[in-house]
Amino acid sequence: MDPIKSLKMTTLAENLVMAGGLGQWGFSLLLELEDARGDPRKIMLDTATEAKGLLHNIEHMELDIGDIDCLVLSHNHYDHTSVNVPIVEATGGVKVYAHPSVFESHIIKNAKGKTREIGVPKGQGIPEIEAAGGEVLLSRSPVEVVPGVWTTGEVPRRTFETPMDLKEGNQILTEVDGEWMQDTIVDDQSLLMDLGGFGAVVVSGCAHAGPVNILNHVKELGGFPEVACYVGGTHLSGRSDEYLERSITELGGFGFKILSPCHCTGFKATAKIWRAYPDEFVLNYCCREIDPLDPPKNRII
């Protein structure tokens, strides 16, 4: 894997917010980088839930998304895919990378049998993206989206980790060939890259595949001895204390220099990660900028 030359990550949508930004339950992140050839590139990962907050933060940060090279969707859930079309329109047409299952039907069903849609909202799917000028590229395998930046593709599930914590009696289901089946969120994928002079960087959406599974997969894909930076969701919200402690302990084996969990991590897990890894921890929030080669001097504000 050829290393990229520079990287800045800006959180466009997130649960936590500081002065000037707008927060929401959703996630979106902009990567600005020099690719493996030294060319300037922009990648957006996910499009959050609410257009108002996402577009406000882009304007507040005086960011130009008209020249982004591609949009990558980490998985199907609405809090990562609700502003697909406005973003594609703002770019004038762009490549959109996703797993084939992203645009299938996904629901949650409670103990009483009531269901609600949790996947890509109506009006934000493939026909609408293409009508807006986008080109949708679907793959289960890793894809190089710009020189030096790859998707993980499907992540093997080999650890204790589960896709998400559900209330008793609830199920998440997806429609396959006309039948509703248990949804293991097989479409969950992250981005990985080798930042020259720093090491491996991983950016996740929600990490339904499990952060430990993802990081082990990244090490195998890139031949990395360690992973220097992890930014994004971990889906540790609502987990038992035992699950949290095991997850946090196993995260210690990857050699992080920067660890910045957000979104679906939850306050309790975020606090525990901070306590476990105070030197590596970077608090994430809307409009936070993280440059691994020049990390924030104050990591908790």
3-class DSSP assignment, residue 115: strand
* Residue among 42, 133, 41 at smallest CA distance from 93: 133
CA distances from 281 to 213, 270, 292, 296 (A): 20, 9, 12, 10
For residue 239, what are its two tokens?
């987990």
Can you give the pLDDT at residue 167?
87
Query: Is residue 119 within 8 Å of residue 208, measured between CB atoms?
Result: no
What is the C-alpha to C-alpha distance for residues 96 and 269, in angstroms, rounded to an integer?
32
Q: Where are the chain's structural domains?
A: 6-290
What is the C-alpha to C-alpha distance for residues 301 and 288, in angstroms, rounded to an integer?
9
Q: What is the pLDDT along the chain (301 residues), one digit of tens a residue?
A: 999 999 999 999 999 999 899 999 999 999 999 999 999 999 999 999 999 999 999 999 999 999 999 999 999 999 999 999 999 999 999 999 999 999 999 999 999 999 999 999 999 999 999 999 999 999 999 999 999 999 999 999 999 999 999 988 999 999 988 899 999 999 999 999 999 999 999 999 999 999 999 999 999 999 999 999 999 999 999 999 999 999 999 999 999 999 999 999 999 999 999 999 999 999 999 999 999 999 999 999 8
* Residue among 131, 86, 128 at smallest CA distance from 103: 128
Give the angle subtended at the CA of 292 by the CAs of 287 and 298, to the nearest 5°: 60
pTM: 0.97
* Residue among 66, 101, 299, 291 at smallest CA distance from 195: 291
DSSP designation for 225: S
Can you give the pLDDT at residue 131?
98
Can you give the pLDDT at residue 253?
95
Strands 115-117 and 135-138: unpaired
What is the C-alpha to C-alpha distance for residues 191 and 45, in angstroms, rounded to an integer?
8
> What is the b/e burial string over 84-119, where b = at least 16 CB atoms within 10 angstroms of the residue's CB?
bbebbbbbeebbbbbbebbbeebbbeeeeeeeeebb
Does the domain at residues 6-290 carry the CATH identifier 3.30.950.10? no
Torsion of CA 75, 76, 81, 82, to 10 degrees: -160
Can you give the pLDDT at residue 301?
86
